[in-house]
Amino acid sequence: MTGPAAAALRDIPVEALTAEQAATELHALADEIAAYDRAYHQDDAPLVDDGAYDTLRRRNDALEARFPELIRADSPSRRVGAPAAPGFARVQHVRPMLSLGNVFSDEELLEFIHSVRRFLKELRDDPGLPLEFVAEPKIDGLSISLRYEDGRFTVGATRGDGFTGENVTANLQTLDDIPKRIPGAPAVFEVRGEVYMRRAEFLALNERQQETGGKIFANPRNAAAGSLRQLDPTITASRPLRFFAYAWGEVSEPVGETHQGFLGRLQTMGLQVNPEARLCRTPDEMVAFCRELGDKRALLPYDIDGIVFKVNRLDWQERLGFVSRAPRWAIARKFPAERARTRVNAIRVQVGRTGILTPVADLEPITVGGVVVARATLHNEDEIARKDVREGDTVVVQRAGDVIPQVVAVVPELRPAASQPFVFPRTCPECGSAVLREPGVAANRCTGGLVCPAQAVERLKHFVSRDAFDIDGLGERHLVAFRRDGLIANPADIFRLKDHAEAIRGRERWGERSAANLLAAIEQRRKVPLERFIYALGIPQVGQATARLLARHYRSLAGWRGAMVEAADPASDAARDLDAIDGIGPSVAADLTAFFAEPHNLQVLDDLQGEVAAEDFAGPAAGAGSLAGKTIVFTGSLAQMTRSEAKARAEALGANVAASVSRRTDFVVTGADAGSKAKKAAELGVTTLTEEEWLALAGEG
């Protein structure tokens, strides 16, 4: 199942979906949101507006809440940003730079507060115990980290994918808001915050760019990101960039007892914090602040798209920990999206690497909230029919700060008299093969397979993409030409292009230097991390997060490949082990075993392994201790902390938390009324721990 296959399901209430329908839609959402994340974080060129993006995120969260057994390892709820872009050295974050969960109403904000109370035992048991939050405007800029050692600024990096960012130290040193030295700072002090641009300075910059023939930026956020990610620091120095600090990463000593106190400490160190930040002591104060800041939003000198609320007590933040890509102790209350009307000039159909046909609306360019928008995906045939979108229609589009809008609805009274419903093609626009639509599935798929140039090229594009093998200089145009002329047919052929060096140098628009650069870039990718290798194979439902989860679990290519082949037998230990991985559901497991059951795929894999090597998994340091790298299963009721808090603590110590017991399980923690999992542990000889033994092992005893 694919993204377009699920779009028609989005109008069905979550509570009315079957598990099979939910799995289809979760697959689609994972792929679609990943593409939007890459465009936003890597390219500073968003492909969808904030309102549409948030709608997809909320739908994903609702599906996962109802079907927790279907949560995917590559779920957007487990992923942050996108990998670092080429052109900058990479910086690995000692503590991941994660994102925030979102709420969109007062009711959802209050539910978040209740969830914090439910998580912490003392708050759950005493409803009257105060719970304070610090509220800060959510700046629409670029997240960065600043590392200070012995008070001296040493390294500055972008967030990237949350684990690895871009080294932009030289550029950040040009910002007046970032001090070069901080007297009295801890020996290691990593400050995190947002680089942004004020509206007035953004408009002035665009005027200068227009006068000199330079790039015109769509909005202040894009201008800030583009200005910071310049290879020439003098360009960054010429741009009016500013910085607000709001968090910390790696530190050699505690930063304080409260978040409010931490912000005050930042100010004494010479760092800028948002002057609108406020301590809220009650839920009513939080709701009132949302309305107050929403009313004055347009009067602020910079763009904001919401308010961030953070639990004030830092010891409670520590205990709450993180879930997937976001902290449990913070939430972003987002503001509503903006809307406008424009015309659909044309509807085009594109073919993806899996053969799915996706319609795209070309729009009459229109400015919405200061940003020009010009196209939008229409998802699939059913989505077009449901909204009855036609060429020439006037449509309502929605955005909240990005470029490509969501088509909300058609304005029927403005429809041209001669308009006709859009007829979806029954043959592939790329190869002319028949288009197949299976019963009960929304996706139209080209049946051309390997004879379809769009699919073949898209598969190769995926293989060389930034998130996969990241081969610089091998773009779509070159892949199309090389494949057409018989130089490459499958991924391994890319690494044999050196045998065609003379032919490449003699091609139009190629020369000695460009050919040498390409071949050198290819040679540099003969070794890649295991998670990139897995992702590059293009296995259905295996996105970046799933690939990383598999790499972390199996550690080596040989271990993973052998386990996947063995897992084809549902009664095998390998199948049970795969099923036990938290985040790998039955649908993903089926796609993995199906991939390895196909002889052609194994031939491609053998060929590829003859040319490249996948490095064994080496994740970021998870912290010293006996739990790092161990697999833990919790069962029964715990007395001294909630199950959620226990799981969060285990993950913070570098452990893997599994949903079921297998031979790879290291510990089963048994609380009161432990059931079948404890029995299974005894049968397999897996070590069981009481709650007290678990607390001692976790350093809580």
Is 296 an active-site residue? no
Radius of gyration of the chain (CA): 26
Handedness of CA 45, 48, 54, 57 (dihedral sign): negative
- Neighbouring CB atoms inside 10 A of 410's CB total 17
Q: Are strands 338-351 and 357-368 parallel, antiparallel or unpaired?
A: antiparallel
Cite the DSSP H helix spans in 213-280: 220-228, 233-237, 259-268
Residue 551 buriedness (CB in 10 A; 0-12 / 13-18 / 19+): buried
Interatomic CA distance for residues 322 and 121, integer angstroms: 17
Strands (E), 569-686: 613-615, 631-635, 656-657, 667-670
**509-518 core/surface letters (b: 16 or more CB in 10 A; e: else):** eeeeeebeeb
Interatomic CA distance for residues 276 and 121, integer angstroms: 32
Residue 349 DSSP class: E
Q: Which among 378, 141, 174, 402 has a CA at the least distance from the CA of 274? A: 141
Interatomic CA distance for residues 565 and 575, integer angstroms: 9
Selecting among 121, 138, 215, 461, the annotated active-site residue is 138
- 371 forms beta bridges with 368
Residue 495 DSSP class: T
Please say whether the beta carbons of 178 and 191 come within 8 A.
no
Longest dimension (CA), the chain: 78
- 91 forms beta bridges with 165
Q: Are strands 406-410 and 394-399 parallel, antiparallel or unpaired?
A: antiparallel
For residue 124, CA distances in Å to 286, 638, 642 come to: 20, 14, 10
Structure tokens at 395: 């449509």
3-state secondary structure of 11: helix
- The catalytic residue positions are 138
